[in-house]
Amino acid sequence: MYAYTYTEYGSPDVLNYVELPTPTPKSNEVLIRVVATTVSAGDWRARSLTMPAGLGLIGRLVFGITRPRKPVLGTELSGIIEDVGADVTAFQPGDAVIGYPGAGFGAHAEYITMPSDGKIVRKPENLSFEEAAAIPFGATTAYDFLINKGKLRAGERVLINGGSGSVGSACVQLAKHFGAEVTAVCSAANADLVRALGADDVIDYNTNDFAKGGARYDIVVDTVGTAAWSRARHALVPNGRMLMIAGRTSDMILGGLKARLDGKRLVGGVASEAGGILGTVVDLAAAGAYHPVIDRNFDFSQMIAAHAHVDTGHKKGNVVVTITPTGKTGLRASENLQLMEATHV
């Protein structure tokens, strides 16, 4: 199989297109032929080793001290089951699925193996492979912070800082779906997008500071790391919650204490990658309650360009990469139909 690997940290140019052995599934694993994947913020951070100030050492401990520990990036995918291990009963060859390797990476390749009882769900028929691949990272993060950690309730006022990104666009839609009044912070160029996703109000960060506007919110969500606690606390009602998906190291460490002293709450940390959350957000997407936003769709041969686009910091929603298998013959009829759908043949 072919894959993109990297052996040093840096710009998109550190990626190499290489041929690797196709993995063989263990007894409890499935082999997935990847049809679509994405370049996520997680891929960008792991490849570039761009970390918040003060977390550089932790970043190297996580991703690899002297060189990357996981040479193949890719946190999410959609594809077709190619083979199954001897003990697998939940899936069979030909099944269309959505996979979320997450911090395990590995999806920037033509094939990947994953545990059959892990973060894999069947792809709904009404979602394209590209849409399906764009669901896991943004939607599970948004759901976990808003619903599990933030305990969002219907009727609450929610401000989402960074409403047009992968996580932010999911936050806008899920908060609205669960009955919140939603204000999104983004550039004027993305205002129509976030309104179309359900935002009741939009603040252009270039001309207005949400913390100085006088409005108060039950929840403030920071998806991009530009709303420090010292600033965001002024926009919260008493007992309000700040959900810090991205932010300063000092806030991640001491923010909880600072918030309690102010009669409020700050929730940070890492989003859960539990398989149950993936199943929930995929069901919401299948029902039309959530639509993953796709900024651009690149071919597998354009992987470096896809990474470069993410590096600009101005993507809207998700950047998807479609993979066409090399030298593939003898596909089942059902696989041919699904591959045609995925590659728009």
More confident residue, 64 or 260: 260
In the predicted structure, residue 201 carries a pLDDT above the cut 70 = yes
Residue 4's beta-bridge partner residues? 17
- With cut-offs at 50, 70 and 90, classify the pLDDT of residue 325: low
In this predicted structure, what is the pLDDT of residue 275? 81
Residue 173's beta-bridge partner residues? none
Can you read off the two tokens belonging to residue 233?
Answer: 């606390």
In the predicted structure, residue 333 carries a pLDDT above the cut 70 = no
Q: Which of 165, 152, 159, 263 is nearest to 213 (CA)?
A: 159
Can you read off the two tokens belonging to residue 209?
Answer: 């500071």
Can you read off the two tokens belonging to residue 112?
Answer: 């990947």
In the predicted structure, residue 341 carries a pLDDT above the cut 70 = no
Can you read off the two tokens belonging to residue 29?
Answer: 């694993």
In the predicted structure, residue 49 carries a pLDDT above the cut 70 = yes
What DSSP element (H or E) covers 299? strand 294-299
- With cut-offs at 50, 70 and 90, classify the pLDDT of residue 340: very low
In this predicted structure, what is the pLDDT of residue 131? 97
Q: Which of 142, 99, 129 is nearest to 281 (CA)?
A: 142
Q: What are phi and psi of 92, to 5 degrees?
A: -145, 160
The alpha carbon of residue 51 and the mean position of all alpha carbons in its chain are separated, in whole angstroms, by 17
CB 342 within 8 A of CB 316: no
The amino acid sitting at 13 is D
- Report how far residue 265's alpha carbon sits from residue 168's, in angstroms, rounded to the nearest whole number: 20
Which one-letter DSSP state was computed for residue 85? Answer: -
**pLDDT more than 70, % of the chain:** 91
